[in-house]
Amino acid sequence: MKKAAVLLVLTMAVAFAGCGSTPQAGDAEGGNESNADSVSTTEVSDGGDILSDGVLTVGTNAEFPPFEYVGDDGEPDGFDIALIKAIGDKLGVEVEVENMEFDSLVASIGSKIDVAIAGMTVTEERQNMVDFSDSYYQAVQYVLLPAETEIAAAEDLAGKTIGAQLGTTGDLMIEDFEGATAKQYNKAVDAVNDLISGRLDAVIVDKNPALVFADKFSEEIQYMDFNFEPEDYAIALPKGDAALADAVNNALAELKTDGTFDDLVSQYIEN
């Protein structure tokens, strides 16, 4: 993105061009990189210009293994991070990852971040604010329960205290259960900790993270699949930027054809 910087360079180039005596690198024989003429005005036009500075700023919430988590080096890692970096390679841009709260991702597109990848489900509500790439993964909500529980089916969630990560599809589902109390957390793992300590009856979270948590705390909790509606993960994009959407979708398609996508699935998800 860095639109402000591009604008500044353009303004300066125009200013320099207006006062002929100012020396600049482009005046040297052969090179004209910093001449006003060579500064393309398309860089500051609307739409399709997000990639023009060579940096794609990507928002995520690295609290969602195996799609995104903070790696041993303190940097976001996981399937989504590897996927967006591979897309960046195809597009010839550098990918900068911003780790932020899940609930602020959609609203930050177009200001703090260019796009978001966060195991984000395509929903109608989100589509009012952002566009989505082609879907890259199908998921479903799972229910995490204490090892000992009477809950055996979705209807048993009525009247229960249920935790979820704030603003997620799992969170939005809780109101479907008659008389249930919703408790929202910034991180799914904090809900899991409250489940383990008995403050919650259940946690609703996407399948793959549920499997990771159930495996990590296998003594204390278990997961169940109550056959909720399947959900599609996609990359959230600025609304109306068809050029960017095309570029991202083409890169995604190429990664599927050349085998990179499947390699990432086996490396991060099905291992």
Q: Which residues bind ligand ARG (CB under 6 A)?
A: 61, 63-64, 68, 102, 118-121, 165, 168-169, 206, 231
Could you tell me the smallest distance in angstroms from the CB atom of residue 62 to ligand ARG?
7
Q: How far apart are CA 141 and CA 202, in angstroms?
A: 12
Task: Give the integer Cα–Cα distance in Å for 10 and 4.
Answer: 10
Q: How far is the CB of 117 from ligand ARG (least distance, A)?
A: 9
Which of 133/169 has CB closer to ligand ARG?
A: 169
Nearer to ligand ARG by Cβ, of 131 and 231: the residue is 231
| Minimum CB–partner distance for residue 120 and ligand ARG (Å) | 4
Instruction: Tell me which DSSP letter residue 77 carries.
Output: E
Residue among 51 and 200 whose Cβ is closer to ligand ARG: 200
Give dist(CA 213, CA 44) in Å, integer: 45
3-state helix, strand, coil in the chain (%, to 5): 40, 25, 40
> How many residues are recorded in the chain?
271
CB of 74 to ligand ARG, least distance (A): 17
Q: State in angstroms the smallest separation of the CB of 122 from ligand ARG.
A: 8
Asked if the bond preceding 66 is cis, omega within 30° of 0, the reply is: yes
Q: Which is nearer to ligand ARG, 120 or 247 (CB)?
A: 120
**Which residue number, 26 or 59, has a Cβ lying nearer to ligand ARG?**
59
Task: Report the DSSP beta bridge partners of residue 118.
Answer: none
